[in-house]
Amino acid sequence: MTFEPTVAPDSRPIRVRIAPSPTGDPHVGTAYIGLLNYLFAKQRGGKFVLRIEDTDRTRFVATSEHMIFEALKWVGLTWDEGPDVGGPFGPYRQSERTEIYREHAEILLANGTAYRSFETAEELEAMRQQQIAAKTPPRYNGAHRHLTPAQIDAYLAEGRPYTIRLKVPENTSTTFTDELRTAITFDHNNVDDQVLLKSDGYPTYHLANVVDDHLMQITDVIRAEEWISSTPKHVLLYNAFGWDLPRFWHMPLLRNVDKSKISKRKNPVSLVFYQQSGYLPQAMLNFLGLLGGGMAQPTEAEIVSKGLNTKEGDIFSLPEMLEKFDFKRISLGGPVFDLVKLKWLNGEYLRKLTPDEFFAALRTTILSDDYVRAIAPLVQARMETLGQFGDMTSFFFSDNISPPESVWLPKKRTFEETVAFAAEQLTALEAATWDATSIESALKTLGEAKQWSVKENFMLLRAILTGSLTSPPLTESLVVFGKSRSLDRLRRFLETQKKLANQRK
């Protein structure tokens, strides 16, 4: 038996959404999928919805949501419905919809397509480790699938916490259509009994996304390829509720240079980083539009008639994308997020600005009053002439800082232990709130634990971030320079040293 649920009729007005999770800095992948959804909706007279998926309270970052809004606006994307602008299908923040998910989980419990599972997270983790050790696929063993009503009542009476899991039908398979691919089939032996409602009462992505997409009347789910393998669970859920399916479009995943899924370790992924580093939003958007194809190359006739240079086939604006972008053209190989080409594109846009516009661009970003004002007090006491400002603060305005080993390597430390310690600094800073006292205590705590003196500790970081052993106060400088750029500089340093170390071997 194969499930073949009905797909929503084509006549419904197009509605798409992006659903970022507020767990940190806004991600280039969010802008990429956002752009695609935006284009899809606008080309079809549809609505583009922004929904915040904040159901993981352990990873929740309070400042993140606002940063996501600002970053999307920065690249030029706007949404028709969302937590900030409202809309007829709100609330658009999942943490405000918990009651809805609970009710829907009850429906599944009642119709037998879901069940309660009383294992603890620790028990499940132990099971997973055993399975991995035994080289078998890590999967929930379905132990509580067949609990008798008496057992369930006993557990409930005990007040034992539980999750609600999807009861994936046995011995069948699910087939769904991906609009960019052929039909995709998953045997249910390979589909886990996914947790739908966590023991804290919050839904997992799977439940929340299906319920919300249905209630918000989403017609087309355009998301990253990493979701393909959980799509059968979603199809099963639509089925269990008796709902029509949206169309699924899985977009290729952005990649690091080594082709792995894009990650902050290997590539700057924060939109804040690009903004603060002086990339123009139109260049970023253009670059994202280039990845994965979608834009038809100009024909020879167009090149001749418009007097285009051949390279200008790669240069286009959002209105041009709206006009020409074709989803059926998207190529499925995961595109490398190539910083080199992004920089070239950005240079192209920079050169096209008028002198006044260029000046304005500098003054609103890298030379903004706010930025210079924040830097000024760090060097005032150290200066004898204003002319020394540049000497003391150049690292705030530089892209590439690569101190030689003679600068960053402490006298009494080896290369290996120092690089390892710098990696620890990165981890500590990633977890730190970005203010001077938090940074300082995070570093000191680490130094004490690893037996690094405050001097060695701070000097190392100073060298990595400023390229010098003489600089304005370190923690204050870090705060002004910004978390995303500071951490990126540290990551690049580590990558560079790793490569050098490999070359020596």
Tokens found for residue 327: 């989803």
Q: C-beta of 307: minimal distance to RNA in Å? A: 11
Size, binding site for RNA by CB under 7 A:
80
Residue range at the interface with RNA (CB under 7 A); choices 69-77, 214-222, 226-234, 432-440: 226-234
In this complex, which beta carbon is closest to RNA, that of residue 351 or of residue 412? 351
- What type of residue is 361? A
Give which of 168, 160, 161 is closest to 142, Cα–Cα. Answer: 168
Q: Which residue has the tokens 């069948």?
A: 172
Distance CA 451, CA 312 (A): 56
Distance CA 69, CA 209 (A): 20
Instruction: From residue 399, give the alpha-carbon distance in Å to each of 281, 394, 420, 492.
Output: 18, 10, 24, 11
| Binding-residue pattern over the window 184 to 213 for RNA, x denoting contact by CB under 7 A | xxxx--x-x--x--xxx-xxxxx-------
- Residues 145-174 close enough to bind RNA by CB under 7 A: 161-163
Please give the order of strands across the beta sheet that includes 195-197: 114-117, 163-166, 195-197
Single out the residue of 284, 291, 318, 392 in contact with RNA (rule: CB under 7 A): 291
Taking a C-beta distance cutoff of 8 angstroms, is the pair 350, 280 a contact?
yes
Q: Is 264 a catalytic residue?
A: yes
Q: C-beta of 303: minimal distance to RNA in Å? A: 9
Taking a C-beta distance cutoff of 8 angstroms, is the pair 233, 168 a contact?
yes
In this complex, which beta carbon is closest to RNA, that of residue 260 or of residue 414? 260
Single out the residue of 255, 264, 489, 491 in contact with RNA (rule: CB under 7 A): 255
HSE of 48 in the Cβ direction (CA atoms, 13 Å)?
19
In this complex, which beta carbon is closest to RNA, that of residue 246 or of residue 335? 335
Residue range at the interface with RNA (CB under 7 A); choices 69-77, 178-186, 444-452, 482-490: 178-186
341 contacts RNA (rule: CB under 7 A): yes
In this complex, which beta carbon is closest to RNA, that of residue 182 or of residue 451? 182
Q: C-beta of 53: minimal distance to RNA in Å? A: 3
476 contacts RNA (rule: CB under 7 A): no
Single out the residue of 348, 424, 430, 476 in contact with RNA (rule: CB under 7 A): 348
Tokens found for residue 50: 């922004």
Q: Which residue has the tokens 């709100």?
A: 90
In this complex, which beta carbon is closest to RNA, that of residue 61 or of residue 436? 61
- Residues 64-93 close enough to bind RNA by CB under 7 A: none
Q: C-beta of 43: minimal distance to RNA in Å? A: 17
Q: C-beta of 502: minimal distance to RNA in Å? A: 17
258 contacts RNA (rule: CB under 7 A): yes
62 contacts RNA (rule: CB under 7 A): no
- Residues 106-125 close enough to bind RNA by CB under 7 A: 119-121, 124
The string of DSSP letters for 118-155 reads ---HHHHHHHHHHHHHTTS------GGGG--HHHHHHH
In this complex, which beta carbon is closest to RNA, that of residue 97 or of residue 198? 198
351 contacts RNA (rule: CB under 7 A): yes
| Bridge partner list, 222 | 249
Strands (E), 296-385: none
Label residue 349 left, alpha or beta by phi (over 0 means left) and psi (-120 to 50 means alpha). alpha
In this complex, which beta carbon is closest to RNA, that of residue 288 or of residue 479? 288
455 contacts RNA (rule: CB under 7 A): no
Please name the helix (run of DSSP H) or strand (run of DSSP E) that holds residue 248, with its range, or none.
strand 247-251
The contacts of residue 277 (CB under 8 Å, 6+ apart) are 268, 399, 485
Q: C-beta of 198: minimal distance to RNA in Å? A: 4
Give which of 384, 400, 380 is closest to 464, Cα–Cα. Answer: 400
Distance CA 464, CA 214 (A): 50
- Residues 306-335 close enough to bind RNA by CB under 7 A: 309-311, 313-314, 329-335
Q: Among the options 233, 264, 341, 450, which is catalytic?
A: 264
* Residues known to be catalytic: 264
